[in-house]
Amino acid sequence: MRGVAPGRPGTALPNTPGTADCGEQYFLAEISLGCQEGIRWRTGVPLRAECAHPEFPLTDSWPKVSQRTETEGSAASSASHEDLTPLRFDRAELAGAVADLGVFVPIAVALIVSNGLSPTAVLLPAGLLYVISGLLYRVPVPVQPLKAFGAIAIAQGLGAPEIAAGALLMGGVFVVLGASGWLDRVAQVFPKAIIRGVQLSVGLIFCKLAWNLTTSPPAIFTDHVYSTTWLAGAGAAVAVTALLMRRHHVTLAFVVIAVIGMVMSFQGPLTFGPSPVEIPQLSLQAFTTAAIALVLPQLPLTFANSCLATADAARTYFGPAAGRVRPGRLALSLGGANLLAGAIGGMPVCHGAGGLTAHRSFGARTGGAPIVLGTVLLVLCVSIGASLAVALAGFPLPILAGLLAVAGVLHIALMKDLRQPSDWAMAIAVGVTGFLSNLAIALAGAMLVWWGAKAVGALRRRSF
């Protein structure tokens, strides 16, 4: 396989050796994504010779990190602007930017109202991570609350000290994993079927969250007074409309409707300025409670979904343009944001493959979408942070539920590239087990079965 200069078929790139083996080579690739948008991506990334897909180079596991990749990381980071995906700030990016609010808003509002977190402290780490992700990764990498972490904290009524301690623990763990390079090496042993199973589990969780928002609406939202029939019917109408018209920037219309609804339902004086941000009072008991109740249940989900599955979804959707999105880097960025969240008593955050599907499905194609959303969050938390809790409680639940359901369904559709019945069986087993019980159990069992089968096959071939 030989590197070919864009627009000049048959011309090898300088210093690019021609080779027929499967070693990692560097190419200057230019591909077309989404003909309806007329987008051209141009970037220098590592490709692999065995990649068979004509548009997106996919393998059963994450490409190996060669010594050249490690030693030249700093040089790659300082690549010229022409070698990066250009940022866009058009209507498509704006529509995609708001597509993942179905996960973000309910957990953020609950942590503010039920757990007593400062609205400014909740939005500040998320906004900063969104902006940094857009600039660093150049594709719409999402920022979400830690879902299992947040749900347990809300259900148990844990206070700011325990939540802050848990954020610091999560941040420390993933900064170490990302900085050591260990996560990228571990990612190599995860087959695509298992990654698709994780994504199936997340898609099912999104659909369940959407259903719960309409059938058991949180009392902190203004819409909880409406009947289940009305909420479910309106949520279904939003989902169908969003699914059928997602290429027409329909999410922008939904956001306008949501803003009107929040303004009409707003009660109380509008206070300008940020809400008070205080350094949490940490203790050994707070760290112990956080480690057992919050961090242990969240670790497998963050490892599998925020790092491995998000990196996989990025290269599935964007191909070489997502060359910067690697599991180790994702661990570093989310880890750093959680250290900040823990230091100011804010909301723990992560990346997420489901959020990436939501942003991309409704129009986002570059880092412009996360930069826009992050900037909006930063402006809100500084300008009206003191009034955000009341304002966000008026966000219409059918819109949140509808967008969340569409993101879940489209995320499950990532399984369509599996070809073998055994891969489908493995993915479904991981997804259903992770959804119904525990993702850590699903991952451990799947890895044992997968590599056990590989070992048996190798022994049989050797015996012959």
- φ and ψ at 39, to 5 degrees? -85, 140
Domain locations in the chain as residue ranges: 1-50, 91-417
Provide the mean pLDDT of the chain: 82
CA distance 169 to 342: 9
Contact assessment for residue 410 and residue 242, using Cβ atoms and an 8 Å cutoff: no
The string of pLDDT tens digits covering residues 308-322 is 999 999 999 999 999
The string of pLDDT tens digits covering residues 106-135 is 899 889 988 989 999 999 999 999 999 999
The string of pLDDT tens digits covering residues 9-26 is 443 333 333 333 333 333
Q: Where do we find the tokens 């960025």?
A: 333
CA angle 383, 400, 338 (to 5 degrees): 55
Contact assessment for residue 214 and residue 394, using Cβ atoms and an 8 Å cutoff: no
Is residue 33 over pLDDT 60?
Answer: no
What is the arithmetic mean of pLDDT over 427-442? 88
> What is the pTM assigned to this prediction?
0.77
Instruction: Specify the pLDDT at position 91.
Output: 94
